[in-house]
């Protein structure tokens, strides 16, 4: 959370779907591209998906942690004040 703005959260068996995932703020275009290109790893989360948020599964045998890091970094930069966002490289 940055200045009372949530940019990401952890999903664990949300509504009994059996998935464990990292969910974060994104754009609709990026969300659609990620889900289209890798539907096994990415999905549109309930409630916030309509706003462009995207989720990546972290319960799979192979998780691309650099992608998780990149998504988290960009989500943080999207909600943080410019000076604070610029500190994240």
Q: Which domains does the chain have, with CATH numbers?
A: 8-86 (3.90.1150.30)
Sign of CA dihedral 57, 33, 77, 75: negative
Report pLDDT for 45: 94
| Chain centre distance of CA 66 | 13
Where do the H-state alpha helices sit in 9-64?
28-37
Q: Which helix (H) or strand (E) holds 75?
A: helix 65-79
Q: Give this prediction's pTM.
A: 0.90
Report pLDDT for 3: 82
- Banded model confidence at residue 84, pLDDT cuts 50, 70, 90: confident
pLDDT at 52 over 80: yes
Closest among 79, 87, 80, 75 to 10, alpha carbons compared = 75
Instruction: Please give the mean pLDDT across all residues of the chain.
Output: 94
- Comparison of pLDDT for 14 and 54, the residue scoring more: 54
């Amino acid at each position: 959370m940055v200045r009372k703005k949530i940019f990401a959260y952890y999903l664990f068996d949300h509504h009994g779907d059996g998935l464990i995932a990292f969910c974060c703020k994104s754009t609709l275009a990026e969300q659609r591209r990620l889900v289209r290109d890798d539907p096994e790893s990415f999905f549109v989360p309930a409630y916030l998906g309509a706003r462009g948020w995207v989720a990546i599964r972290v319960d799979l045998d192979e998780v691309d942690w650099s992608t998780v890091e990149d998504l988290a970094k960009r989500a943080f930069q999207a909600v943080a004040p410019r000076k604070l966002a610029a500190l994240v490289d």
